[in-house]
Amino acid sequence: MQVSNKLTPFFENLNFERDDNTMVINFGPQHPSAHGQLRLVLELDGEQVVKAYPDIGYLHRGIEKMAENMTYNEFLPTTDRLDYIASTSNNYAYALAVEKLLDIEAPRRAQAIRTMLLELNRIISHLFFVATHALDVGAMSVFLYAFREREFAMDLMEDYCGARLTHSAVRIGGVPLDLPEGWLENLAAFCDKLDHEVEHTYGALLNENRIWKMRLEDVGVISAEDALSWGCSGVMLRGSGVKWDIRKEEPYELYPELDFDIPTSDRCDSYGRFRLYMEEMNQSTRILRQLIPLYKDTKPQLMAHAPKYISATKEDIMTQNYALMQHFVLVAQGMRPPRGEVYIPTESPKGELGFYIKSEGEPYAYRLKCRAPSFFHTGLLQNLLVGTYLADVVTIIGTTNIVFGEVDR
């Protein structure tokens, strides 16, 4: 019997053997396949999960609180820390929400660059998913191959914005930089390489792999009704046969002009979702290839022209007095958006990432709520894990593709 005292207090009240022969175990928060800081309290009857209780909050940094104390432009780099696997999607979702609040639109070249970055981030995130999911289930080599290609994608991000993980590659009103020389050629080469690898490496290693299928098929089955009710989005929803992709249904940026498919699966299980992730990488490369000529047709303007909210270009600031004054005001005081509220959903690699912003016309948001897909997918675990076996718990956590930066915020 453990005794708690002031120096060794009980943070986890564990009792293993209980009267009804069930056992309570802690999964995490430091479990390697807990995808960050998930503590899962599982009540087991033998090896079967009777009750699951996801305990979150170990990575809570109060990002929504910080948003109320930062100007709109100051907050943008903080959004990197939400879903840190695909930072640009967070930057973009936030920038888009603020742009809708301000009623401005990014110029076409910025839209082309943003769409490219979003799809590149989707690939980075999906590669990470395939790698870690395979590693969790026990396929070590896929992890190494997938991280090799992810490295190339991250090199592309680095060439564009200088950062590999926390990109901050999008600004409110556009993008800060144009693409560097030779970037599009590298991108095209990367697309070819990725298509080849998805089919001949990860696909060949996993798609028809007997062990992989045994571990994934009929594991983590969610009906379409449950998926909707529990707030699932993205692949979790499409894996249950609901054809819902915000890029198609409520399009933004250049997505209406692009030709791509929304893969869905009626299998409702982990294997179906895994195949969707693989197929989505193919769709992303398809989008990226179409974007290259679209980018070349655009004019070089990168930031929207809205002097009330957005600073002028560097050249204007350095040569024109009024642009300099306005820039000084915008940096020192922050922009003052209209009074009102917006909720703008975007399709991040994990699902529906939306920002609700309530503005009172001040330079600081009155309230900012980040609708993170992983938060609801974590909530789903308490339903999904019941009745499964302990060995499948890791598979199910992996298949939800949760990232704790955005669960805890």
Tokens 């398809």, residue? 286
Min dist. Cβ of residue 362 to another protein (A): 6
Rule CB under 8 A: choose which of 24, 101, 142, 385 binds another protein: 101
142 near another protein, judged by CB under 8 A: no
- In the shown chain, the binding pattern of residues 1 to 40 toward another protein, with x for contact by CB under 8 A and - for none, equals -----xx-x-------------------------------
DSSP three-state, residue 24: strand
Q: In what order do the strands lie in the sheet with 39-45?
A: 22-27, 39-45, 48-55
Task: State the SS3 of 333-346.
Answer: CCCCCCEEEEEEEE
Sign of the Cα torsion 127, 129, 132, 133 reads negative
Rule CB under 8 A: choose which of 12, 45, 47, 103 binds another protein: 103
Nearer to another protein, 156 or 384 (CB): 384
Report which residue type is found at 135: L
Rule CB under 8 A: choose which of 73, 233, 395, 401 binds another protein: 233
Rule CB under 8 A: choose which of 32, 46, 62, 387 binds another protein: 62
228 near another protein, judged by CB under 8 A: yes
**What is the DSSP code (8-state) at residue 234?**
T
- Give the CA radius of gyration of the chain: 23
- In the shown chain, the binding pattern of residues 352 to 391 toward another protein, with x for contact by CB under 8 A and - for none, equals x-x-x-xxxxxxx-xx-x-x---xx-xxx-xx--------
Give the binding range for another protein (CB under 8 A) out of 15-23, 77-85, 186-194, 228-236: 228-236
Nearer to another protein, 264 or 282 (CB): 264
DSSP letter string over 155-191? HHHHHHHS-SSS----BTTB-SSPPPTTHHHHHHHHH
Nearer to another protein, 43 or 360 (CB): 360
Interatomic CA distance for residues 198 and 146, integer angstroms:
9
Give the binding range for another protein (CB under 8 A) out of 28-36, 100-108, 258-266, 282-290: 100-108
Interatomic CA distance for residues 283 and 301, integer angstroms:
28
CB 374 within 8 A of CB 402: yes
Rule CB under 8 A: choose which of 77, 176, 231, 241 binds another protein: 231
Closest to 98 measured CA to CA, from 176, 174, 177 = 174
Min dist. Cβ of residue 249 to another protein (A): 4
163 near another protein, judged by CB under 8 A: no
229 near another protein, judged by CB under 8 A: yes
Give the binding range for another protein (CB under 8 A) out of 80-88, 188-196, 286-294, 329-337: 329-337
Interatomic CA distance for residues 251 and 311, integer angstroms:
27
CB 291 within 8 A of CB 119: yes
Q: List the Cα angle 257/260/265 in 5-degree steps.
A: 145
Contacting another protein within 246-305 (CB under 8 A) = 249-250
Interatomic CA distance for residues 274 and 2, integer angstroms:
43
Nearer to another protein, 211 or 331 (CB): 331
Min dist. Cβ of residue 343 to another protein (A): 6
70 near another protein, judged by CB under 8 A: yes
Site size for another protein (CB under 8 A): 62
DSSP three-state, residue 303: strand
Rule CB under 8 A: choose which of 18, 60, 200, 314 binds another protein: 60
Rule CB under 8 A: choose which of 50, 66, 294, 390 binds another protein: 66
223 near another protein, judged by CB under 8 A: no
CB 97 within 8 A of CB 104: no
Interatomic CA distance for residues 153 and 21, integer angstroms:
50
Min dist. Cβ of residue 375 to another protein (A): 6
CB 173 within 8 A of CB 309: yes
Give the binding range for another protein (CB under 8 A) out of 81-89, 167-175, 290-298, 340-348: 340-348
Retrieve residue 195's tokens.
């298509």
DSSP letter string over 365-390? -SEEEEE-HHHHHHHHHHHHSTTSBH
Binding region for another protein (CB under 8 A): 6-7, 9, 56-57, 60, 62, 64-66, 68-70, 100-101, 103, 225-226, 228-231, 233, 237, 242, 244, 249-250, 333-334, 336, 338-345, 352, 354, 356, 358-364, 366-367, 369, 371, 375-376, 378-380, 382-383, 408-409
